[in-house]
Chain A
Amino acid sequence: MKLKFILACTIGASALAAAAIPARAQDSVTLVTNAYRTGGFSGSGIPLGNGMRDYIALVNAKGGVNGVKINFEECETGYDTKKSVECYEQAKAKGNILYLPWSTGATLAAIPRLHIDKTPLLSMGYGLSAAADGNTFPWVFSPPLTYWDGASVALNYIAGKEGGMDKLKGKKIGLIYLDAPYGKEPIPFLTNMSKKFGFELQLYPVPAAEMQNQGALWLNIRRDKPDYLYSQGFGAMSPTAVKEAIKNNFPMDHFLGVWWSGGDNDAQAGGAEAKGYKSVTWHQVGSNFPLIQEIIKEVVDKGQSLTEKGKVGEAQYNRTVYQGVLITEAMRNAQKITGKKVINGEDMRRGLETLEITDARWKELGLEGFAAPMKVTCADHGGHNKAFVIEWDGTKWVKASDFIAPSIDEVLPLIDAAAKDYAKTDGWPKRSEACDAK
């Protein structure tokens, strides 16, 4: 009798457990992001990590995406590509629906494996510019714009100041960049543009080990006297560059960084003297948006955030809120296309490929005026969307231009050529994935 009772209990418990496992799995997906809250790049990595973390916490607090919660995890890389590869493998084993490498080096390392592992990769505003060609890279997405678009927006802004692209002839434009795949990414585009429009491109590489020791490099800049300086810096490199620019009396209003050089930490290092320093970006800064206010109320004020309240709405923080929106919108698309609630990596790829956020949708999301409408298509995974320029007023970033479109006519031929070149790699597959877009 006793044995029968124990057996019955065991069978009953097993049945309950078996029933519980799929029920739990059905209402959640796993999303693992690379992060770097430690090391020399933590100045950029921490606010970037915080924005994404808080946004996902809000989504989950509101019941998830159509009832599906996001099991969100960070994998610390210290901005080390080797550790990123380990993180990729660990995330894959956990059923990660989307790889977020957060480094161009890590992006390059992962690209050859994505179609095999059926995991899409989102490198929002970074990574390999050529991968914006969706026909060659169906698993890679880099909206809302690539580094080549960013450099193009910067040139268009400078040209606007000078009175037209033809006025760039004879000018010297310097590129100060982290001597890593990320930093080098705009060089082909800028080289091409310098030949076409007759400006002289000066290159100033900063090795990672010398990020905080740029003395000699700035002597070069002082000697060369570039008319404008475009920075592709990251981590500790950017605040050091801002300080060196001040120290060397470089006109700050002629110093313009890509979005990753435009963090609050970067400009704060120069304080009031950094006034006039600029950055290209594609989204607004500040917390005066209903969605950001909701994050403060539901996440930050409830002690669930790693962010100080005063830092919510900073440039890098808002950037990963934007990324969070892209991800949840893509999840919704994937659920709609497949009819499934719990999606996998292949479904997520389809969701990303049909991503479109209109002005009306930005408003519905509580982010009216936060960014330009954006769209991804099967052929165009980069978006080449509009961006604008923000300027440091001595204490905070303020908007300094209207939306500026990248010169797509200049960017696309380069992307086509670079993608074709990449596709010559042995064994690179021809696209076989169907296109869901109508």
Chain B
Amino acid sequence: MDFLIQVIWEGLVAGVLYALIALGFVLIFKASGVFNFAQGIMVVFAALTLVGSYDKMAAVGFKGFPAALVAVAIALGVMFVLAWLVERLVLRHLVNQPDIILFMATFGLTYFLIGFGEAVFGGDPKIMITQQLGLPTGSTEFRLPGLGPNGKDGLVLIQHIDVAATVIASLMIAGLAVFFQYTRIGRALRAVADSHKAALSVGITLNQIWVVVWFTAGIVALVTGIMWGARSDVSFGLSNIALKALPVLIVGGFTSVPGAIVGGLVIGIGEKLGELYLAPLLLGSTMGRGVESWVAFIIALGFVMARPQGLFGDKIIERI
């Protein structure tokens, strides 16, 4: 029983982290109707800017929490400039183009950022500045009386960084939900998502909205990069994590912030249960497993067949 609780906790943490990645996709999809293929590399780019800036400051003796805060400010500044450049050099020229053109543009952006990032930061993996940012490390063991094997006391291990990740991600998701629901920019953004032409006709500045949205996606990318980087390292391979957003978006819907959360949790917990309980049944106890990598897509496939727009996505109705 204690192990099941541990698995569900780990699934919840993974789910929140997946939700963070998915959130970046949802933001841009809502604003421009395009699946931003570059979101994964934006996570890496933001995290590398943070760590790279900190390392430069540390090299001249400026270290610790103040330097980490300056590095965060630099990373945010770079993500703002990136958002502005994306709008100025790419999106502005593609207004009213078919979605597939915008999608392909994000492909181009991805490979540009990979090459540019490797030229600027090098291919060396970097260690996330977890402690310098004041994020907690270590773990706490919780004893659960009678919930262990054979009626013994159970044990659940909670990592402090996971708790911090869950709290930060939850606050960020809640903040964004409020922002989209109750602010003028949030409402304008939803109008843009429905129709570029209609939004323009009522005086919404499309370009400004895009900069805001891409910058917000950049902030989300930075938080995602910090949280995932703390669990591994910061390298270009981290962009693969973005693949995990696909099943989350399919489950939750491409246009819903709450959907990203619920989708993330469904996938996070589902894949952990699949790996830990389904795999031994399918493959035996000592066989190689690796079920985690595909079970998320099987769950997503089930959702596509039952509810194509996802749990919270807008139902698409086209008049003929």
Contact = CB atoms under 8 A, between A and B. Distances in A.
A83 to B, nearest CB: 15
Interface in B227-245: 228, 231-233, 235-238, 240-241, 243-244
A323 to B, nearest CB: 20
Contact of A210 (B125, B157, B287, B292): B292
Contacts of A265: 124-125, 233
A209 B240 contact: yes
A207 B271 CA distance: 14
B19 to A, nearest CB: 14
A211 interface: yes
Interface in B119-159: 122-125, 127, 139, 157, 159
Contacts of B114: 38
Contacts of A46: 122-124
B289 interface: yes
Interface string B74-114: 00000000000000000000000000000000000000001
Interface stretch (B6-14, B28-36, B171-179, B181-189): B6-14
Nearest to B274: A216
Interface in A32-50: 37-43, 45-46
Contact of A240 (B123, B232, B243): B232
A27 to B, nearest CB: 34
Interface stretch (A6-14, A159-167, A198-206, A364-372): A198-206
Contact of A209 (B275, B286, B293): B293
A208 B118 CA distance: 20
B165 to A, nearest CB: 12
B303 interface: no
Given A213-B244, A215-B10, A219-B272, A236 B292 contact: no
A18 to B, nearest CB: 41
A204 B289 contact: yes
Interface stretch (A241-249, A285-293, A426-434): A241-249
A244 B232 CA distance: 8
A438 interface: no
Interface in A221-255: 222-223, 235-236, 239-240, 243-244, 247-249
A356 interface: no
A305 B236 CA distance: 23
B180 interface: no
Contacts of B203: none
A42 B292 contact: no
B118 A38 contact: yes
A268 interface: yes
Contacts of A213: 14, 231-232, 241, 244
Contacts of B13: 215
A240 B231 contact: yes
Choose among A39, A45, A215, A216 the residue with the greatest number of B CB atoms under 10 Å from its CB. Answer: A216
A220 interface: yes
Interface string B199-221: 00000000000000000000000
Contact of B228 (A41, A202, A209, A212): A212
B3 A223 contact: yes
Interface in A353-377: none
A183 B13 CA distance: 28
A37 B6 contact: no
B61 interface: no
Nearest to B123: A42
Contact of B288 (A204, A215, A240, A269): A204
A212 B240 contact: yes
B168 interface: no
A51 B232 CA distance: 25
A249 B286 CA distance: 22
B95 to A, nearest CB: 34
B286 A201 contact: yes
A94 B84 CA distance: 45
Contact of A269 (B7, B122, B233): B233
B272 A215 contact: yes
Contacts of B288: 179, 203-205
Contact of B275 (A42, A208, A217): A217
Contacts of B228: 212
A212 B276 contact: no
A249 B159 CA distance: 11
Contact of B157 (A45, A206, A212, A248): A248
Interface string A241-280: 0011001110000000000000001001101000000000
A202 B286 CA distance: 5
Contact of B286 (A203, A206, A243): A203
A236 to B, nearest CB: 4
A19 B110 CA distance: 50
A211 B237 contact: yes
B276 A239 contact: no
Given A215-B10, A220-B275, A236-B237, A43 B232 contact: no
Given A46-B124, A213-B241, A236-B238, A207 B290 contact: yes
A217 B287 contact: no
B7 A212 contact: no
A406 B10 CA distance: 39
A220 B278 CA distance: 12
A211 B232 CA distance: 9
Contacts of B118: 38
A209 B124 CA distance: 18
Given A42-B235, A215-B272, A219-B6, A210 B286 contact: no
Interface string B283-320: 00011111011000000000000000000000000000
Contacts of A40: 235-237, 240
B149 to A, nearest CB: 10
B272 A203 contact: no
A177 to B, nearest CB: 8
Contacts of B290: 179, 205-207, 210, 217
Nearest to B141: A249
A43 B121 CA distance: 13
A41 B237 contact: yes
Given A43-B124, A204-B288, 12 more contacts: A38-B114, A43-B125, A202-B286, A203-B287, A212-B241, A213-B232, A213-B241, A213-B244, A216-B14, A219-B275, A247-B159, A271-B127
5 contacts: A202-B286, A205-B288, A205-B290, A212-B235, A219-B276
Shortest 8 CB-CB contacts between residues of A and residues of B: A40-B237, A42-B123, A216-B275, A212-B232, A43-B125, A203-B288, A240-B232, A205-B288
